[in-house]
Amino acid sequence: MRQKKLSPITLRFLHIEKETGKKPKEIAEILEMDLSTYYKTKRGDIPITSNFLVKVEYKLKYSRNWLEFGKGNPKIEDVEFLSDIEKQLSVLSKLKNYDLLPILNALPDIPPNEKDKNLLLDFLNLYVQKFQ
């Protein structure tokens, strides 16, 4: 019987399960998702969303770059983790001050096409130039 070769993403999920000593059901609960979605993500049947990566990073302390691309260290060190949180809090504060959170929350999780992304970046860069 021929054994199916596991994808790199599946191997990284298996690494997390083994290292944490948690079963898939427990990890799905920690990440606040149903078990079937966890398995589909683990197999690579559905793309990993940025929301999912944030939860893995903050709830399990595994690097999003490692999980998604296999780059860097799997675990996030506490100092790096706290520094990252501090930077993100600053950005969140700005988003809140400009009432941008509801607008950004309305954006889909799927990556935008290059044209739409550049349009938004151009607009924001133009606005930021006002303060420079």
Q: What is the pLDDT of residues 6-15, one digit of tens each?
A: 889 999 999 9
State residue 3's pLDDT score.
62
State residue 58's pLDDT score.
86
Q: Are 112 and 104 in contact (CB under 8 A)?
A: no
Indicate the domain borders of the chain. Answer: 8-69, 78-129
Cα separation values, 27 from 7, 10, 129, Å: 19, 14, 44
CATH code given to domain 8-69: 1.10.260.40
Cα separation values, 63 from 44, 72, 97, Å: 18, 8, 29
Query: Which residues, given as ranges, of the chain have pLDDT below 50?
Result: none
**Taking the model in full, what pTM does it have?**
0.58
State residue 6's pLDDT score.
85
- DSSP conformational letter for 44: T
State residue 4's pLDDT score.
72
